[in-house]
Chains A and B, each alone.
Chain A
Amino acid sequence: MLVMGEVQTGLLQNSGEISESACRQVLGLMAGETVRVSRRPIVHALSPERLTGVDCALPTASRSRIRGVGTVVTRCAVTGGRVAQGSTYVRVVRSETDRRLPWSHYLARPGVVEVLGKAKAADLAEGFTGDPAPGCLDLGAVSGRFLDLVQASPLLDRRAPFKMARTSLRWVAETGEPSIRFTLHTERERTLRLTHPGPFTPAVVDLCEDLALHDWLLTSLLVIVERARIGATPGAQAVARLAPAVDHLLHLWMPAARVEEWLTPFWESLERRPGFTRQWRSLVDRVRDQVAMNTLALLTAEAGRR
């Protein structure tokens, strides 16, 4: 019927970026399973997948009670040794019976929740990206818990260079005429509706995680620039406040680096409107200009003293 997921993104709770080998340990969420690491064009480490069993109401726009039973898949990722993500998704399908079956039936279909009774895909999609009622399937809580597990690793010193709230991206993917809709809700919440040609593959999850990552980077840079109060505080002070962005964020912008080719048009269309990279570049320029201006001011002051 449809696939839905929620990605939570946050700053890794460590003073500096962590090494590839540390990533492997931090993300080792399951014995005997390897952490997958890719190094080009940016170091990206992906944990093994973990399942969580659920049996609960699914969110619906019509508020009709739809029961789903099955497992959801969670994985965590660390990008550039700096940004951590917890990502949970589930494929929703119609059940062939209207009663709950033995648990082994659901474990033979990992990452699938079966809907008992009648349900419309549109109702579920609207419900999930709208305002889900409490007591409904909570993928964000599952993602958050696994992300907490990563952040609690004894390898991390928990001295993050700046404070930044986690963001959450709730997404729904369906098969059909290609379209993408990215919506900002509150400061921390975003939703994504995606219609892609052909059947669902985990590459769609990669795309959603990549968008969530870049949205978090952009949001964080905006917050840091705002906190610097450029123009309202002395130049040196503003630059000091911008420093964490230079040290920890600016090099991480790699849109669509890990997105399969058939899905890159979705990223490209978001680049046209609203234009993530355009806004990012303008912010980066602003940060660099501030640093340059401040350097110039320091040099001028130095020359005056001589």
Chain B
Amino acid sequence: MTPVHATFGEVTAERRIASVPLSHVSVELGHLYMEDFEAGPGRLREQFRRVAPWLATVRALWREQVPGGRARVSTCFLVDDYFSRFSTPAELVPMVLEAAAEQDLTIDYLARESACAQFEDPRSGRVELARLVEDRIVDDPPPGTDGSRPPVKETGWLCNGSRSPRTTPLQAMGKARPWEPPAQNAKRGHSIFVDVELWDEKGPRRTWSCPFLAAVWQLLRLGLLRSEGRVPLTPVAVDGDWPRDWDGLPALVRLNPQAAPFSAYTTLSVLSPRFLPVELAVRTILSQVAVDDEVLRQVAARSESEGIRLEEELVDRISYVFV
């Protein structure tokens, strides 16, 4: 008898990672906080007026790069409903869309910032995106980190180097230890030391920081997050009237039925320079997030099949215009 070659498989023993449709670039047209809303529709119009030429530029640049000029560009807009709740979707969404239309801008997707912390998914229940990302943080190790001790952590903080040693109070030790500077791990000559607060807790309630949620937002836009192997957040169209409550609005809404996919190989955010420190913090966080290997490979394979070379490091796939 010839030997029989047997194969045996078990579904629960395999790892399945869903893939996500990808545009070439996701452009964030704006990020609305309560103070912007309170400043009235003029502020919003001004924002869109400043964004419009940059969107045109990025479209033109990608058209040149993509064979046949078929660049997939999607636009998105983020509304803060996490740090402060203001207005209602019924009131706010039409106002935003109108202000954008005045500048000939189409907003393809609208997202609620609280979704970056957690949201209720009709299929899989509560999805805690922020926790997902928190567990993927791999601390930038200072020289001398050999694995023998757990990483030095200040709970709820993340930095890019070694913090200053604690200076002890004068009474306790008799002699105060002189101040020593913190150091950046990957410094070039001199340090730019950054220490970012990821969250704080008052009683049982944890509040994620704005940079942390912005980091989650970037990862969503880059299509790099998975939960149990599935794509955690997919855009949903809203039929009929806008709800009167933010919780009634899907976490990510598709406004334009013809829109290119929400997630993209690269992102561009057009922001006011007042967001510069926030984005430095976002980059500090993102350069310490380990994205799933399989997801990275998927995205790399897809882009290569289109003849596009993506930057290896994910922070290099994110760009900004500060105007």
Q: Which residues of A contact B226 (CB under 8 A)?
A: 32
CB contact between A103 and one of B131, B135, B136, B287 (< 8 Å): that residue = B287
B151/A53 in contact, CB under 8 A? yes
B201 at the interface (CB under 8 A from A): no
A138/B315 in contact, CB under 8 A? no
Known contacts A31-B131, A72-B147: A107-B288 contact under CB 8 Å: yes
Bound complex: CA A174 to CA B198 (Å): 41
Residues B134-171 near A (CB distance < 8 A): 134-136, 138-151, 160
B149/A141 in contact, CB under 8 A? yes
Bound complex: CA A73 to CA B150 (Å): 14
Residue interface bits A96-137, CB-to-B below 8 A is 1, else 0: 000011111101101100000000000000000000000111
Residue interface bits B1-44, CB-to-A below 8 A is 1, else 0: 00000001010111100000000000000000000000000000
Q: Which residues of B contact A145 (CB under 8 A)?
A: 150
Residue interface bits A44-63, CB-to-B below 8 A is 1, else 0: 10100001111111000000
CB contact between B12 and one of A36, A51, A102 (< 8 Å): that residue = A36
A102/B186 in contact, CB under 8 A? yes
Q: Which residues of A contact B228 (CB under 8 A)?
A: 32-34
Q: Which residues of B contact A185 (CB under 8 A)?
A: none
For chain A, the count of residues having a C-beta within 8 Å of the partner chain is 41
Shortest C-beta distance, B146 to chain A (Å), equals: 4
Shortest C-beta distance, A286 to chain B (Å), equals: 34
A40 at the interface (CB under 8 A from B): yes
A53/B140 in contact, CB under 8 A? yes
A104/B151 in contact, CB under 8 A? no
Q: Which of B63-71, B83-91, B175-183, B289-297 has 4 or more CB atoms under 8 Å from chain A?
A: B289-297
Question: What is the interface of chain A mostly: helix, strand, loop, or mixed?
Answer: mixed
Nearest chain A residue, comparing its CB with the CB of B225: A32
Shortest C-beta distance, B196 to chain A (Å), equals: 14
Question: What is the interface of chain B mostly: helix, strand, loop, or mixed?
Answer: loop
Residues A269-300 near B (CB distance < 8 A): none
B232/A32 in contact, CB under 8 A? yes
Q: Which residues of B contact A36 (CB under 8 A)?
A: 12-15
Nearest chain B residue, comparing its CB with the CB of A44: B13
Residues B212-259 near A (CB distance < 8 A): 225-229, 232
Shortest C-beta distance, B304 to chain A (Å), equals: 15
Known contacts A31-B132, A38-B12, A104-B314: A56-B144 contact under CB 8 Å: yes
Nearest chain B residue, comparing its CB with the CB of A56: B146
A107/B138 in contact, CB under 8 A? yes
Bound complex: CA A1 to CA B8 (Å): 33
Bound complex: CA A138 to CA B147 (Å): 5
A103/B147 in contact, CB under 8 A? no
Bound complex: CA A105 to CA B314 (Å): 9
Bound complex: CA A111 to CA B290 (Å): 11
Known contacts A52-B138, A56-B145, A56-B147: A108-B132 contact under CB 8 Å: no
B146/A108 in contact, CB under 8 A? no
Q: Which residues of B contact A100 (CB under 8 A)?
A: 143, 185-186
Nearest chain B residue, comparing its CB with the CB of A52: B147
Bound complex: CA A52 to CA B290 (Å): 10
Bound complex: CA A54 to CA B150 (Å): 11
Bound complex: CA A123 to CA B250 (Å): 58
A54/B145 in contact, CB under 8 A? yes
CB contact between A104 and one of B145, B149, B286, B293 (< 8 Å): that residue = B286
A136/B151 in contact, CB under 8 A? no
Bound complex: CA A145 to CA B232 (Å): 30
CB contact between A110 and one of B14, B140, B227, B293 (< 8 Å): that residue = B293
Q: Which residues of A contact B144 (CB under 8 A)?
A: 55-56, 135
A37 at the interface (CB under 8 A from B): yes
CB contact between B135 and one of A31, A54, A56, A107 (< 8 Å): that residue = A31
Which of B13, B139, B314 has the largest count of A CB atoms less than 10 A from its CB?
Answer: B13
Nearest chain A residue, comparing its CB with the CB of B227: A32
Residue interface bits A134-169, CB-to-B below 8 A is 1, else 0: 011111011001000000000000000000000000
Nearest chain B residue, comparing its CB with the CB of A261: B5
15 residue pairs bridging A and B, Cβ less than 8 Å apart: A30-B135, A31-B131, A32-B135, A32-B232, A34-B228, A38-B10, A39-B10, A51-B290, A53-B141, A56-B147, A57-B146, A103-B288, A108-B296, A108-B314, A137-B146
Which residues of A line the B interface, CB within 8 A? 30-34, 36-40, 44, 46, 51-57, 69, 71-72, 88, 100-105, 107-108, 110-111, 135-139, 141-142, 145
Q: Apart from A34-B229, A135-B144, what are 7 other A-B pairs with CB-CB below 8 Å?
A: A32-B132, A34-B228, A38-B12, A53-B145, A107-B287, A107-B313, A110-B293
Which residues of B line the A interface, CB within 8 A? 8, 10, 12-15, 128, 131-132, 134-136, 138-151, 160, 185-186, 225-229, 232, 286-291, 293, 296, 312-316
**What are the nearest 6 A-B pairs in CB distance?**
A56-B146, A38-B13, A53-B141, A104-B287, A32-B227, A103-B140
